[in-house]
Amino acid sequence: MSVTIRPYQGGPEWEVDIRIELPDGTMKRERRKAPVMSKSGALRWGQAREREILRTDPTERQKKEVVPTVTEFAPRFLSGYAEANRQKPSGIAAKKSIIHIHLLPHLGWKRLDEIDNEDVQQIKSRMKDRAPKTVNNVLSVLNTLFRTAVEWKVIPAMPCRIRLLRVPRTEMRFLDFNEFERLVGAAAIVDGNTHLIVLLGGEAGLRCGEIMALEWDDLDLKRSPAHVIVRRSEWRGHVTEPKSGRSRRVPLTRRLTRALKVHGHLRGARVVCRDDGKPLTQKVVQGLVHRAARKAGLTDSGVHLLRHSFCSHLAMRGASAKAIQELAGHRDLTTTQMYMHLSPAALEDAIRLLDGDGHGTNRGEIVEAAGTENPSH
């Protein structure tokens, strides 16, 4: 251990050079300008500083200095946050993909507390050709990762501010009544699975994963009207609850009821499945719908387009926002309101409120129809 005093840059001030071997065997050197002008005062200050360094617990000092990099913290975040909170497999996979594709290549080597606002802006810049919603998905994962690190006391505070991009409203595509009928006819020609998929999506509003996971035990075709209980969804072999987090009951149209009876089989528990009874993959389900769409002469296709069409057709026929929400299994009413501008009944009832004739629906439903948003669906 030593404390050396020398003139600071040739001037009247003094530099204190402290060399210490710490209890853990590591060497520490610290050179600082003394806060006093006299040589003896600088020496006393240096000796006091030496004692202060020796009093510091090296293990505590190490804890303060060691902050994990993004690469080091990412596995802890995925297992301790996403998986521990029992997020859906699709959500966990999306987070893994975002971290490995967009975050680790550019930020992985940085400590969590070193990431600043410019780093966040660089993410936006690199993704300038991607849709705003895609960019926001990446930023949201980064934001959640930081907040988890703060909650776990890995870092003391958020190291930067993350501002999401504005997502412009887009027109939602759906099949009109004529296009949907053409698709149903083409699907019936393709095969029974395709016919059921198109009707389950377009006349019952089931999501792709819900169609894949649908079992015969979920159907009651003997009652009038027949109905289905949507209890589960499938993603890449993982069966989970529906997206809304709860089951729902959907009455079936007469055409869908007939199709289910006609295409009934004993190959397996699933309603749509392979010839050997095994489940269809999402790629196969989407491929069948695309095939039917081509046969029908349609340029747009996909299972989710069928679901959009289901909600849009209900709104165009005058169904209430609340009814559409329940049938589609929307988590909140704001999602359903995307479709309500299509409802002529809602517009007519709004004008009747001005007439004061009392024949419109209750005012709450008109307010619901007017305030549309474009949330993720």
DSSP code for 83: I
Residue with tokens 């029974």: 192
Nearest residue to 325 via CA among 368, 374, 367, 370: 368
pLDDT at res. 256: 96
Helices (H), 56-131: 58-65, 70-77, 89-98, 104-107, 117-126
CA distance 107 to 79: 20
**Separation of first and last alpha carbons in the chain:** 67
pLDDT at res. 29: 83
Nearest residue to 279 via CA among 231, 209, 218: 209
pLDDT at res. 364: 40
In the chain (377 residues long), the average pLDDT of successive 10-residue segments reads 82 87 77 85 86 68 72 96 92 96 93 93 95 96 97 94 89 88 96 96 96 95 92 91 91 95 86 92 96 94 93 91 94 86 70 64 39 42
pLDDT at res. 62: 53
Q: pLDDT tens across 52-83, in order?
A: 877 765 555 554 558 999 999 999 999 999 99
